[in-house]
Amino acid sequence: MNDELEALLRGHYRSAADHITAGPGTVRRFQDAGRAARRTGRGRWRWAFPALAAAVTAAVLVTIALFLWPGGGTPAKPRPMAPPASVPVPATRTPAPTSPPRPSASPTRIPAPGIPQRRSGADPTPRPTGARDPRTLPPTHGGAMPSPSSSAMGPVAKGPRATSSPAGGY
């Protein structure tokens, strides 16, 4: 019974297969579809490497920019909030122009490059390094001069330190 059924199935498939043929048009369609699929598969990865390279380059550039940016990456060095102590405090001390420049132990002693060196006879009033020239500031409604934030604590803060400096007190 089983052999008969198997023979029946085989004969059935063979006789049906004789009439199922793939014509030239069908074969060409399969070939074209395969070629198109291969092209699509290649095209999908075509931009993978350039895109990856661009992403890596952008990431490196951003990282470098973050480290090189002022104040970025490493902590900022302490900068003096007030004029250096070598600049004389008004009405207390005048600068000694004849004194030879000595290396200061404190970084606050180094005059800021933005501050012009004063000559004798010049206006001894210290100016804050971070403040703008009051003459260039526009007038305010109240008429009061704008008080720069650094100037308020500059002379007050520098007073005791100036006296303890080796150049001044010793």
Nearer to another protein, 1 or 68 (CB): 1
- Which of the stretches 6-14, 58-66, 75-83, 118-126 binds another protein when contact is defined by CB under 8 A? 6-14
Count residues binding another protein (CB under 8 A): 32
| Dist CA 80 CA 82 (whole Å) | 5
Nearest distance, CB of residue 5 and another protein, angstroms: 6
Residue 73 token pair: 């990456």
Q: Is residue 140 at the binding interface for another protein, with CB under 8 A as the rule? A: no
Q: How far apart are the first and last CA of the chain?
A: 124
From residue 37 to residue 56, the character string flagging contacts with another protein as x (rule: CB under 8 A) and all else as - is xx--x---------------
Q: How far is the CB of 67 from another protein (least distance, A)?
A: 44
Q: Which stretch binds another protein (CB under 8 A): 29-37, 69-77, 116-124, 155-163?
A: 29-37
Q: Which two tokens stand for residue 83?
A: 């004029």
Stretch of residues binding another protein (CB under 8 A), selected from 14-22, 81-89, 125-133, 138-146: 14-22
DSSP reduced 3-state for 80: coil
DSSP letters along 128-154, please?
Answer: -SSSPPGGGSPPPSS-PPP--HHHHHH
Cα–Cα distances (Å) from 107 to 67, 83, 146, 160, 165, in that order, read: 24, 12, 28, 16, 12
Residue 71 near residue 103 (C-beta atoms within 8 A): no
Nearer Cβ to another protein, position 21 or 74? 21
**What's the min distance (Å) between Cβ of 33 and another protein?**
5
Q: Assess 21 for contact with another protein (CB under 8 A).
A: yes
